[in-house]
Amino acid sequence: MRHRKGFNHLGRTSAHRKAMLANMAASLILHKRITTTTAKAKALRSYVEPLITKSKDDTTHSRRVVFSYLKNKYAVSELFREISPKIVDRPGGYTRILKLGNRLGDNADMCIIELVDYNENLLESADQKGKSTRRRRGSGKKKAVEAVEAVDAVEAVDAEEAVEAVDAIEAEEAVEAEEVVEEVAEETVAETEEVADTVEAVEVEEEVKEEPVATDEKPEPAEEEDGEEKEKEE
């Protein structure tokens, strides 16, 4: 009779059952998922999850307690180094059981037991799914009309803002063009004044060159002409 039976003996003795569960727990920690029967997976879940909770406190005492259950130092290192940082914010429920169907030989119910935080496919699908919303049928038309009106109002406001922006840009461009014209005019006036000054300076120099030079020397009388005149008188 199974009065107040607290767990499944799995048809094994106590020592055999504990050794089997320790071996399966070490395999689950090292490989992150294993395939077994559903009865063994349920027994393993109640065996390994308290050990995972114990790994959140990384102390020498916790490591020794976990090693007394797992009997595998590599599994203990993997649990405390790799797994515990991932499950530190999860309050229990570290494993998942996925049914596979019945085994061909003895028709046993088979399943996969895995660590929840290491199934990347399910994590990605959960992120992509997002939140689902419920909608009523009656208020759909009104909401659609209101949405269209809101969109039209937004478009009108955007159009007005665009026109104002274009006008402001044109005004700025006109002001800039006037400033450019004024600068060009000032530059041309300055250049013409410089050219006029240079022309006047050149004309003054030419006039100075053309004027005769006044000297104080008197022309000497020609002695030859005086001699010729005296000869004629004689």
Which H, E and C letters describe the chain, residue by residue? CCCCCCCCCCCCCHHHHHHHHHHHHHHHHHHCEEEEEHHHHHHHHHHHHHHHHHCCCCCHHHHHHHHHHHCCHHHHHHHHHHHHHHCCCCCCCCEEEEEEEECCCCCCEEEEEEEHHHCHHHHHHHHHHCCCCCCCCCCHHHHHHHHHHHHHHHHHHHHHHHHHHHHHHHHHHHHHHHHHHHHHHHHHHHHHHHHHHHHHHHHHHHHHHHCCCCCCCCCCCCHHHHHHHHHHHC
Opening angle at CA 41, ends 36 and 46, nearest 5: 155
For the full predicted model, state whether its pTM sits above 0.75: no
Please give the span between the terminal C-alpha atoms of the chain, in angstroms, as a whole number: 194
Q: Give the model confidence (pLDDT) of 43-76 as tens digits.
A: 999 999 999 999 999 999 999 999 999 999 999 9
Query: What's residue 44's pLDDT?
Result: 96
pLDDT for 156: 74
- Give mean pLDDT, residues 158-162: 74
Q: Which of 75, 71, 41 is nearest to 55 (CA)?
A: 75
pLDDT of residue 131: 62
Q: What's the mean pLDDT in 144-170? A: 75
Please report the pLDDT score of residue 164 as a whole number.
Answer: 78
> Alpha-carbon torsion 143, 146, 150, 156, what sign?
positive
- Scan for tokens 């797992």, then name that residue: 70
Q: What is the pLDDT of residue 25?
A: 96
pLDDT digits (tens, 9 = 90+) for 184-224: 777 777 777 777 777 777 776 776 666 555 555 555 555 55
d(CA 41, CA 53): 18
Alpha carbons 87 and 97: distance in angstroms, whole number: 17
DSSP 32: S
Identify which of 17, 36, 37 has the alpha carbon closest to the alpha carbon of residue 28.
36
pLDDT digits (tens, 9 = 90+) for 62-119: 999 999 999 999 999 999 999 999 999 999 999 999 999 999 999 999 999 999 999 8
pLDDT at 15 exceeding the cut of 70: yes
Please state the separation of Cα 204 from the chain's center in Å.
75
Q: Say whether pLDDT at 39 is over 60.
A: yes
Q: Which domains does the chain have, with CATH numbers?
A: 14-129 (3.90.1030.10)
Give the Cα separation of 92 and 124 in Å (integer): 21
pLDDT tier at 137, thresholds 50, 70, 90: low
| Confidence class for position 153, pLDDT limits 50, 70, 90 | confident
Question: How high is the pLDDT of residue 231?
Answer: 59
